[in-house]
Structure 1
Amino acid sequence: MAALVVASVGAMLGSTAPATAAPECSDVEVVFARGTDEPAGIGAVGKALVDTLKPMLKGSSISTYAVDYPASYDFLEVAAGATDMSKHVQATVANCPETKIVLGGYSQGAAVVDVVATSPIAGLGYTAPLPRAVVPHVAAVVVFGNPSARLGQPLTKMSPDFGPKTADLCNKADPICSLGRDWNSHVTYQKSGLVKTAAEWIAKHVKASDPTTSKAAPKPTSR
């Protein structure tokens, strides 16, 4: 009798359990890694970028994802940020295949994007390389104050997959991405014209992109 009661209750619970809700998919998702020592979130540059982008993509829903990593002065944690960014992008492609993805980062966050865009295999703490099938789902890439650019290796040159989709932007005299010595130029991207340049770059690529094709637009220039 007890077994029958348990079975009956289980059957009733199973018949009334709610179905799993489908994920809400936006038209565009901006996946952004903040700079060193910024509080959790997409950071000041990421927010300025998204705020500038929205009027350029009227009629499209835009969501954001803040890469989960320390953004501390332990720069080895870049690998953790790259792993989180890559895993999130892969999950978005699996759950929302029509969503057009934008990768972005500022300063240390730009280094996070560098790893994701240029490392086809795991290593040095990076554990989740992007499969090649994911590449067409990334409509555009924008980075600000990218440390590798100072070494003559901007992301436009480093990544055969993402280079044509990338705007690697450096404020004039920014010592992080150039041989300049004006530290103020590194911490004022959100007030610079390069945020608008990046938003225009994204809008152009989002409008032109297709899950199975990748069209390149003329590369913007840094200040």
Structure 2
Amino acid sequence: MRLNTIILSAVATASSINTRQQNCPEIHIFGARETTALPGFGSASTVVNLVQQANKGATSESIIYPAAGGNVYSASVTAGVTAVANQTNTFNKMCPGSKIIMVGYSQGAQIVDDAFCGGPDRVSLNTTKASISSGVSKMVAAIILMGNPRHVDGLPFNVGNATAGGFAARPAGFKCPAFENIIQAYCDAEDPFCAKGNKTATHQGYGREYGQAALQFVQSKLEGSNENVSNGTNVITTSTAPSPGFHGGYIWTVLALVAIFHL
């Protein structure tokens, strides 16, 4: 009787995992809002919505962090980097076959940048290592940064006419080799936060100015991620069903127990 219970439990567990992963989206979008914006996507919503509307069945999730300014800005960034790492890792564990899109705006761009490319970032982040998990790094297909205070001139993924760095600019010579081919960072010279300009309206207008360009970039990366890549840096899975090996492990366990039961 006990063996029968174990067998039934193994079958039920395999079925549960199968059902959960089959309900996973092919694409999941994370959006991080700007300083003082109300909880949700904030100005990142323009790109989040465009990508979600362009990809049937795609889901989205906002990064939950303070997005505070003033003398608690650094603490807010620290909390934000941790939130990006935790939320993306939690999702990836539940849906390891889903592709991930990151969209960050202003402070939201800074926390996404730091989580994927590491610091240091003054008192907000001491480590130079990325905070995200290896599973997330394999499944992220595109990263959109708008009005990023970490902006520095000369990076291969920069878009816009800004040459000055932001108020939390990366040091000269900075690179993010693991992700630079899937990042697009938008910053114009008149932006006071990513380029020390003097027009707040510029900082607030990236969704309108570059939303469609960001969408096209994301779509191009999603299309590229459908190809099998086996170079050790990108592992793309287009199916949301569990891997045969994982599900198969339960099947072989059940068969082994049945064989023992009949001996």
Aligned-residue identity in percent: 24
Tell me which residue corresponds to 2:179: 162
CA contact 2:92–2:135 (8 Å) conserved in 1: no
Deviation at 1:171, TM superposition (A): 3.4
Tell me which residue corresponds to 1:4: none
Tell me which residue corresponds to 2:131: 129
Tell me which residue corresponds to 1:138: 140
CA contact 1:144–1:189 (8 Å) conserved in 2: yes
Residue identity in the other structure for 2:27? V
Distance 1:114 1:196 in 2: 21
Which 4+ stretches in 1 moved above 6 angstroms? Answer: 18-21, 125-128
Deviation at 1:155, TM superposition (A): 8.6
CA contact 2:184–2:214 (8 Å) conserved in 1: yes
Distance 1:71 1:205 in 2: 28
CA contact 1:102–1:138 (8 Å) conserved in 2: yes
TM-score (normalizing by structure 2): 0.64
Residue identity in the other structure for 2:177? P
Aligned CA RMSD, in angstroms, stands at 3.1
* Larger mean Cα displacement after TM superposition, 140-149 or 19-28: 19-28
Point out where structure 2 has 5 or more consecutive residues left out of the alignment: 1-8, 158-173, 236-263
Residues 68 and 211 of structure 1: CA distance in aligned 2, closer, same or farther (over 3 Å): farther
Q: Matches of residues 30-45 of structure 1 in structure 2 within 5 Å?
A: 30-43=29-42, 45=43
Tell me which residue corresponds to 1:118: 117
Tell me which residue corresponds to 2:197: 180
Residue identity in the other structure for 1:186? H
Distance 1:53 1:196 in 2: 10
Distance 2:108 2:53 in 1: 25
TM-score (normalizing by structure 1): 0.75
Tell me which residue corresponds to 2:54: 56
Residue identity in the other structure for 2:66? P
Tell me which residue corresponds to 1:93: 92
1:147 aligns with 2:110: no
Point out where structure 1 has 5 or more consecutive residues left out of the alignment: 1-14, 216-223
Tell me which residue corresponds to 1:171: 188
Distance 1:200 1:51 in 2: 13
Tell me which residue corresponds to 1:27: 26
Deviation at 1:195, TM superposition (A): 1.2
Distance 1:98 1:189 in 2: 31
Distance 1:66 1:90 in 2: 14
CA contact 1:101–1:138 (8 Å) conserved in 2: yes
